[in-house]
Amino acid sequence: MIKVGDTLPAATLMEFSEVEGNGCSIGPNPVDVTKASTGKTIALFGLPGAYTPTCSAKHVPGYVEKFDELKAAGVDEIWCVSVNDAFVMGAWARDQKTGAKVRMLADGSADFAKATGLTLDLTARGMGLRSNRYSMLVKDGKVAALNVEGPGKFEVSDAATLLAQAKG
């Protein structure tokens, strides 16, 4: 499993954009993790799936609410990564009203989750291989803080915990 001090794995996530801009066309666009994280401080959180109860009711809304405080603490971008396709992540972004606050990034084949060692096997629940619930503070592509949840828990990957780490 990835740990503090490690570099994020080379991977490509996908992002759905509804509006053209900054060189991004409408539709799914590739996001090279290495390029996108270089020179930035990123509050990155991973979760099992779009529209799932805890993710929709607590996890994503917390980061949307703490956006201004995270920015003030030096965070350049907030990334939400989930094992879903870019179209689902785009629809969920609309539903959660993430706007320009949280980048909703799709890890459709779980390649990023596998590369970080942060997978969760939900095959018995009909969901296949997913991402574990976690958060990490990433500085210039390296993990500065990592908070991995226990099975079925939501105690350490919330926005308030990562905000405290960003301030520290």
Catalytic residue ranges: 55
Nearest to 131 by CA among 40, 52, 34: 52
The answer to whether residues 143 and 54 touch, using CB atoms and an 8 Å cutoff, is no
The b-or-e profile of 159-168 (16+ CB within 10 A means b, else e) is bebbbebbee
- The CA distance from 167 to 52, in Å, is 29
Nearest to 90 by CA among 28, 132, 45: 28
Token duo for residue 34: 């290495």
**Torsion (CA) 53, 155, 44, 120 in degrees, nearest 10:** -60
Stated as kind and residue range, the H or E segment containing 141 is: none
- The CA distance from 27 to 86, in Å, is 8
Encoded amino acid at 135, one letter: S
Residue with tokens 């909703």: 104
